[in-house]
Amino acid sequence: MQITMIHDLSDINNSLAQLLKDCVASGASVGFIDPVSDNEVNSYWQNVAQGIADQERVLFVALDEGEVLGSVQLALCKKANGRHRGEVEKLMVHRNVRGKGIATQLLNALEQEAMRREQSLLVLDTRVGDVASLLYRKVGYIEAGQIPNYAMSSQGELSATVYFYKLLA
């Protein structure tokens, strides 16, 4: 398994679509309601590809023999007063390979790239009580606060979200 920064999604588009569908179906807090349609999934990855082309985001994937096991994105702040920060978005790992350190490796790659880009602050949010919040704390992210009833879960219930940040060395 290797972690790779992706510039062209065309070779892995189907595998990325399957990853997103799997994460939504397994209850991950990634912004979609289950069941997610093929059109929604394809539109989402087209927007990611455009964001990469526009240099507004960076995509990392965990690949094993051409299959995407996980992914994470670094959204770059283009505001003049915010170029020192980035946002961690859509950390996803296929449910069949969770618990094997893939998410941590993806975050490490993202953080290294953020530092290479002279970013000193990362922010993210996730559903309160989500297993991801345990991971974020474990790798040094600090809780900044919570907002009740922030987003609908993939099952259609309102959930609170928790914001985290990490200062990079």
pLDDT one-digit tens code per residue, 77-133: 999 999 999 999 999 999 999 999 999 999 999 999 999 999 999 999 999 988 899
In a domain, 165, yes or no: no
Do 91 and 54 meet the contact criterion of CB atoms below 8 Å apart? no
Residue 19: the pLDDT is: 98
Asked if residue 95 belongs to a domain, the reply is yes
Over residues 160-169, the mean pLDDT reads: 95
| 62 within a domain of the structure (yes/no) | yes
Residue 115 lies in a domain: yes
Q: Give strand pairing partners of 75.
A: 57, 87
Range of the structural domain that residue 27 is part of? 2-119
In a domain, 144, yes or no: no
pLDDT of res. 29: 84
- pLDDT confidence of residue 27: 87
Q: Which helix (H) or strand (E) holds 41?
A: helix 38-53
Q: How many domains does the chain have?
A: 1
**What pLDDT is attached to residue 39?**
97
Tell me what the mean pLDDT of segment 48-57 comes to. Answer: 98
Question: Which tokens belong to 45?
Answer: 């990855």
CA pseudo-torsion sign 37, 43, 47, 53: positive
Residue 162 has pLDDT above 90, yes or no: yes
**Is residue 9 one of the residues assigned to a domain?**
yes
* Cα–Cα distance, 37 to 27 (Å, whole number): 15
pLDDT digit string (tens) for 14-23? 999 999 999 9
72 in a domain, yes or no?
A: yes
Please report which confidence band the pLDDT of residue 153 belongs to, taking 50, 70 and 90 as the band edges: confident
Determine contact, residues 32/134, Cβ cutoff 8 Å.
no
Query: pLDDT at residue 155 above 90?
Result: no
Say if 22 falls within a structural domain: yes
Q: What is the mean pLDDT of the chain?
A: 95
CATH code for position 20: 3.40.630.30
